[in-house]
């Protein structure tokens, strides 16, 4: 039997449940769940799913905050052969409707606080494939609200014996929705192998765990990024595969993150730079606060050199930068701790390809470029997606001969370090959350006063980037920043709404009519003379 035969989430969980049954797998809001309990409870939930008609390849959606119940559900789906579809709870009703409908979700798990959204979806066109909605929360045995009581009651009567289904490492297990330049959400399908290939490649290469991203059985890992994205769910699953203890935050708050690090002696975590800034700005923090940390990984947005130096000084631990994408599944490129030295030019780099991965930079004709020349970044990694759900043409454009076209422009130096220059697909990243301009532009253009709009990201000290809109008004029309902001509320998720609105005479476009967003960014970022108070331009709220 090959090593890859054991590269499945059910196998990893069963192994830890046998070897260290009492070891804590998940801590959330003071509740603890051991590996043994996680194993038996997910067996029960898997059998309940099978009784509900869920089988190999079925899509099961989850609309709720992160908790031990979320990860139990993921593992139950894996044991049933189903594919979990996490839904971003920040999305609007229309956005949730699209994901559930596109995925063909047969079962939906939902937190009570998000039931109104589900009710609106079902009251609309309905969801033909959806057979069952299971409320996660309920009332515990002590009469108090219990986040997992509804889930536990649903599977309580099922057997805890292991399921007979045996997944393979190439079976689909996760479908995460991420938009492209069109603004239409696409389901990225990932296999079990996604969460095993990097640790195995590092082991085979003999790479030192201190030089890259690593997960250890003795680690206490803080999961602070949302579980509906690959950063949060991927970090948890990599930790679970080695048997670490995972401290889960239902929603990030800097004060709570600092408290959890101190209380649980957290040793490793992955965060966006804005989250690092928030923790360092908390009153009373010092090097002693973070003494338990051995490694902090960061990524999903640019980091300033000043913030990085402050992190190195206060955290006093190894730091590693990650470059990845949902399509890549796992860490593709890493700037290792050894490169994090004050004054090093490598601090401007994204990093080098992790063991088992490859990088190349190509021109517009697909030819590989030599070191120093800017082109499109491509990654080859065994952790990559199986493809986009029901979108073979989009898959073929992104995944070419095993190479993922990352949508970023950059270059390699003569040592193989990747330096990023710009994002080809113009994705805006606010505190680790991806925002796609075309989606926001489409909604802005629905305003009766707006003739044209371009949405870009501008540097922001707190969140890495902030969303700004350049707006061309119709002749004789007027619209204040506040009016535009209020118009967008309810149409798109709040975190996608621009914080700045700038009225311009026209937008720069290339001969084919595509907006030149780089030029828009440059123009909006340039200092401008003060405008009259009634000019209709400027920042929103």
pLDDT score recorded for residue 511:
53
pLDDT score recorded for residue 512:
53
- Four-point Cα dihedral 476, 481, 484, 485, nearest 10: 180
pLDDT at 378 over 80: yes
pLDDT score recorded for residue 302:
67
Tell me the domains of the chain and their CATH numbers: 28-191 (3.40.50.12780), 357-423 (2.30.38.10), 428-539 (3.30.300.30)
pLDDT at 222 over 80: yes
pLDDT score recorded for residue 299:
87
Contact of 221 with 269, CB cutoff 8 Å: yes
Average pLDDT rounded to a whole number, residues 348-363: 94
Contact of 384 with 328, CB cutoff 8 Å: yes
pLDDT score recorded for residue 2:
47
pLDDT score recorded for residue 1:
35
pLDDT score recorded for residue 179:
60
Average pLDDT rounded to a whole number, residues 285-297: 96
Least confident stretch, 12-21, 43-52, 128-137, 193-202:
193-202
Report residue 522 as tokens.
């440059």
- Four-point Cα dihedral 345, 427, 64, 184, nearest 10: -150
pLDDT score recorded for residue 110:
97
CA–CA distance, 310 with 269 (Å, rounded to integer)? 17
Least confident stretch, 83-87, 144-148, 423-427:
423-427
CA–CA distance, 417 with 349 (Å, rounded to integer)? 7
Average pLDDT rounded to a whole number, residues 383-390: 97
- Closest by CA to 383, choosing from 320, 300, 325, is 325
pLDDT score recorded for residue 535:
35
pLDDT score recorded for residue 536:
36
Contact of 466 with 460, CB cutoff 8 Å: yes
Q: Give the H/E segment covering residue 402.
A: none
Instruction: Tell me the HSE value of 13 on the side-chain side, using a 13 A CA sphere.
Output: 28
- For the chain, percent of residues with pLDDT exceeding 90: 70
**All residues at 6 or more sequence positions from 532 whose CB lies less than 8 Å from its CB, including other chains:** none
Contact of 88 with 30, CB cutoff 8 Å: no
**In sequence order, what E strands does 354-512 have?**
358-362, 375-380, 387-388, 399-400, 403-412, 418-423, 428-430, 433-435, 450-460, 464-473, 500-503
pLDDT at 304 over 60: yes
CA–CA distance, 120 with 127 (Å, rounded to integer)? 11
For residues 1 and 266, the model is more confident at: 266
Average pLDDT rounded to a whole number, residues 395-424: 91
**Averaged pLDDT of the chain:** 89
For residues 507 and 343, the model is more confident at: 507
pLDDT score recorded for residue 533:
37
**Pair type for strands 24-28 and 245-248:** parallel
Roughly what angle, to the nearest 10 degrees, separates helices 254-264 and 273-280? 80
Report residue 152 as tokens.
């536990």
- Closest by CA to 57, choosing from 4, 104, 9, is 104
Least confident stretch, 186-200, 329-343, 429-443, 450-464:
429-443
pLDDT tens string 470-505: 999 999 999 999 999 999 999 999 999 999 999 999
Lookup result for tokens 């090959």: 2
CA–CA distance, 266 with 245 (Å, rounded to integer)? 9
CA–CA distance, 308 with 319 (Å, rounded to integer)? 9
Backbone angles phi, psi at 89, to 5 degrees: -75, -5
pLDDT score recorded for residue 487:
95
CA–CA distance, 90 with 300 (Å, rounded to integer)? 18
Backbone angles phi, psi at 249, to 5 degrees: -105, 125
3-state secondary structure of 199: helix
pLDDT score recorded for residue 531:
42
3-state secondary structure of 455: strand
- Closest by CA to 509, choosing from 466, 458, 453, is 453
**Pair type for strands 500-503 and 538-539:** antiparallel
Radius of gyration of the chain from Cα atoms? 23
3-state secondary structure of 28: strand
Question: How far is it between the farthest Cα atoms of the chain?
Answer: 74
pLDDT score recorded for residue 89:
92
Least confident stretch, 14-23, 150-159, 291-300, 343-352:
343-352
pLDDT at 438 over 70: yes
Contact of 293 with 317, CB cutoff 8 Å: yes
- The helices-and-strands tally (H runs, E runs) of the chain is 15, 29
- For the chain, percent of residues with pLDDT exceeding 70: 93
**All residues at 6 or more sequence positions from 116 whose CB lies less than 8 Å from its CB, including other chains:** none
pLDDT at 506 over 70: yes
Ordered DSSP codes for 43-92? HHHHHHHHHTT--TT-EEEEES--SHHHHHHHHHHHHHT-EEEE--TTS-
Average pLDDT rounded to a whole number, residues 24-47: 97
For residues 5 and 128, the model is more confident at: 128
Contact of 21 with 35, CB cutoff 8 Å: yes
Around Cβ 211, how many Cβ atoms within 10 Å?
16
| Position 205 confidence tier, pLDDT thresholds 50, 70, 90 | confident
| Position 35 confidence tier, pLDDT thresholds 50, 70, 90 | very high
CA–CA distance, 404 with 131 (Å, rounded to integer)? 36
pLDDT at 51 over 90: yes
pLDDT score recorded for residue 473:
94
């Amino acid at each position: 039997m090959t090593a890859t035969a054991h590269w499945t989430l059910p196998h990893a969980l069963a192994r830890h449940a046998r070897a260290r049954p009492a070891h804590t797998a998940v801590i959330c809001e003071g509740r603890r769940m051991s590996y043994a309990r996680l194993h038996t409870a997910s067996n029960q939930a898997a059998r309940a799913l099978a009784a509900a008609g869920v089988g190999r390849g079925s899509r099961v959606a989850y609309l709720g905050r992160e908790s031990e119940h979320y990860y139990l559900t993921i593992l139950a789906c894996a044991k049933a052969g189903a594919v979990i579809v996490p839904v971003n709870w920040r999305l609007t009703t229309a956005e949730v409707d699209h994901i559930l409908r596109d995925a063909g979700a047969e079962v939906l798990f939902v937190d009570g606080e998000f039931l109104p959204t589900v009710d609106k979806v079902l009251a609309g066109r309905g969801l033909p494939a959806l057979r069952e909605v299971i409320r996660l929360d309920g009332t515990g045995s002590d009469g108090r609200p219990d986040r997992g009581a509804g889930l536990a009651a649903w599977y309580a009567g099922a057997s805890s014996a292991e399921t007979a289904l045996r997944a393979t490492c190439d079976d689909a297990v996760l479908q995460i929705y991420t938009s492209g330049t069109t603004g239409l959400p696409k389901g990225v399908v990932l296999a079990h192998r996604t969460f095993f290939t990097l640790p195995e490649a590092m082991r085979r290469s003999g790479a030192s765990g201190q030089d890259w991203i690593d997960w250890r059985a003795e680690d206490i890992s803080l999961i602070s990024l949302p579980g509906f994205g690959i950063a949060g769910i991927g970090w948890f699953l990599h930790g679970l595969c080695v048997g670490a203890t995972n401290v889960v935050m239902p929603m990030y708050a800097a004060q709570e993150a600092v408290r959890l690090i101190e209380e649980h002696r957290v040793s490793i975590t992955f965060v966006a730079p804005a989250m690092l800034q928030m923790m360092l700005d908390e009153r009373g923090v010092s090097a002693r606060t973070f003494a338990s940390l051995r490694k902090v990984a960061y990524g999903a947005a640019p980091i300033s050199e000043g913030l990085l130096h402050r992190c190195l000084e206060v955290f006093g631990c190894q730091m590693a930068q990650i470059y990845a994408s949902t399509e890549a599944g796992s860490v593709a490129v890493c700037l290792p701790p050894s490169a994090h030295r004050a004054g090093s030019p490598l601090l401007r780099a994204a990093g080098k390809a992790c063991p088992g991965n490859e990088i190349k930079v190509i021109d517009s004709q697909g030819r590989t470029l030599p070191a120093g020349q800017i082109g499109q970044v491509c990654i080859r990694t065994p952790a990559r997606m199986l493809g986009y759900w029901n979108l073979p043409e989009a898959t073929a454009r992104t995944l070419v001969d095993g190479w993922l076209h990352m949508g970023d422009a950059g270059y390699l130096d003569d040592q193989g370090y990747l330096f990023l220059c710009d994002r080809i697909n113009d994705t805006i990243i606010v505190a680790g959350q991806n925002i796609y301009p075309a989606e926001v532009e489409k909604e802005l253009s629905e305003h009766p006063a707006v003739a044209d709009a371009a949405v870009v990201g501008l540097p922001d000290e707190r969140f890495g980037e902030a969303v700004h809109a350049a707006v061309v008004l119709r002749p004789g029309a007027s619209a204040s920043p506040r009016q535009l902001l209020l118009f967008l509320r309810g149409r798109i998720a709040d975190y996608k709404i621009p914080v700045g609105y700038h009225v311009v005479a026209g937008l720069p476009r290339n001969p084919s009519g595509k907006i030149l967003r780089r030029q828009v960014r440059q123009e909006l970022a340039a200092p401008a003379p003060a405008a009259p108070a009634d000019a209709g331009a400027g920042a929103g709220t």
